[in-house]
A and B are shown apart, each in its own frame.
Chain A
């Protein structure tokens, strides 16, 4: 009986200790921003692994296990993330090309707040008229949480007329007009 009570108290303390945590633990936050211009789609993805999943993500990136992310490891991971996204414009698949990336240290990732930032773009040549874009993020869907937003176009030549997302923001459909 006494042992049960001790276990119960320990359990409650453990829950309290963990629930007091102010930041992500076992999720991999992936926030995407899409920007449209008349000849390309820009994308910025911020990837922030929580404390519990940071070692796993770090080991996926740090393939030589030397404890540091080398430029080639960073490039490989950035390309992998972009390969695991899909972009269709007017029913045609477009490929993102990685432009640049920023990686935090393992210490920062271990704190659950180190953010990997990837910038990429996909080229397209749109004619005047209505267009439809479909974006989907398929990276680490087992513990990913997602945000996806379209930035307001920086030119009056493009008007976003409709935006729809799936309930968990892994994907987005955008209707837009190019003038």
Chain B
């Protein structure tokens, strides 16, 4: 047996180092969309492996035009159709953990936290709403256990599939197409808009609210006049059931904004866009920025923070709606409240990854 010389050993070491270098590089770089895909597939497989055969069939449904639209702002019991997947409340703690890891995989840490804050908010709302006056057979049900998790299609690095987490005030619809991930259409909401948990004050949509009020107040009088809708907006218009509809834009065009105002608008849009992971969010924000001149900002209601005011951001590839809802009685004279918010986030060109799937 020949003993390798020092020279040969050195050469071997260099060759091994070169062969391993892509791996070393890939572990050192920031997580990108590809990593998110790999993570999501692994998390989906891990979650599915915790389920029995029946549960797997319920969680993993076909991805098609009928299944993907099954999201709603409404709670279980009064949503217009059953949501896809299984209730978190019907899963064991280990299964719940695996389910939430799946949801977290393609999201950013702050996006996932927003989702959890909304879920926890509904648990708080459950304690506030024991006496809801709905008929017994259609009673809405609230709380953490009433959020449904589903996988639509086969988790894949090449063919489209979806992850959904939905419940009262939450419709997270993530379409995964290869290395790209699309969050539109999605719904976030809150009631109560502020609550306390573990000694912390939580405002699931607080930044959206505060940044919007800051922006409307940063506009000049002329810009604000253009932004103002001179009518009352009783509800959202971009919600579930309205896929493919694009309303005629209104408000002030961001082309007239100063650099600072444009930055504020982008920062506001980012609150929805950055629910998805950093790489996808960055690409989406670049697209929103490219179309900024054709993006409109419209406002209905008072401009003092704390008021129940409606706003809409509408550009060629982004639609965002923030719509306070009523909570008081009578609803008509009570008007919307800042404590009950619905928001919708859409891309008229790429809801459910339409643009990517068409390629």
**Which listed residue (B132, B233, B331) contacts A50, Cβ 8 A?**
B331
In this complex, what residue of A is CB-closest to B128?
A20
Residues of A within 8 A of B (CB): 15, 17-27, 29, 31, 33, 46, 50-51, 104, 107-108, 110-115, 143, 145-147, 149-152, 160, 163, 165-169
| Band of interface residues on B | 35 or more
In this complex, what residue of B is CB-closest to A104?
B80
- Report B140 CB to chain A, min CB distance, Å: 7
Inter-subunit contact B246/A152 (CB<8 Å): yes
Known: A18-B131, A22-B125, A146-B234. 10 other contacts (CB 8 A): A20-B125, A22-B340, A23-B74, A25-B331, A27-B234, A104-B80, A112-B134, A113-B78, A115-B241, A160-B248
**Which listed residue (A22, A27, A151, A152) contacts B327, Cβ 8 A?**
A22
The yes or no answer to B133 lying at the interface (CB within 8 A) is yes
Asked whether A111 and B134 contact (CB < 8 A) given A21-B129, A31-B235, the answer is yes
- Report A8 CB to chain B, min CB distance, Å: 17
Inter-subunit contact B331/A26 (CB<8 Å): yes
- Report A174 CB to chain B, min CB distance, Å: 8
The yes or no answer to B4 lying at the interface (CB within 8 A) is no
Inter-subunit contact A152/B248 (CB<8 Å): yes
A63–B230 alpha-carbon span in the complex (Å): 39
B138-175 at interface with A (beta carbon < 8 Å): 138, 140, 168
In this complex, what residue of A is CB-closest to B122?
A22
Which B residues touch A22, using CB under 8 A? 75, 125, 129, 132, 140, 168, 191, 325, 327, 340
**Which listed residue (A20, A110, A160, A166) contacts B131, Cβ 8 A?**
A20
Inter-subunit contact A151/B248 (CB<8 Å): yes
> 1/0 contact trace for B116-129 toward A, CB 8 Å?
00000000010011
> 1/0 contact trace for B217-249 toward A, CB 8 Å?
000000000000111111101000100011111
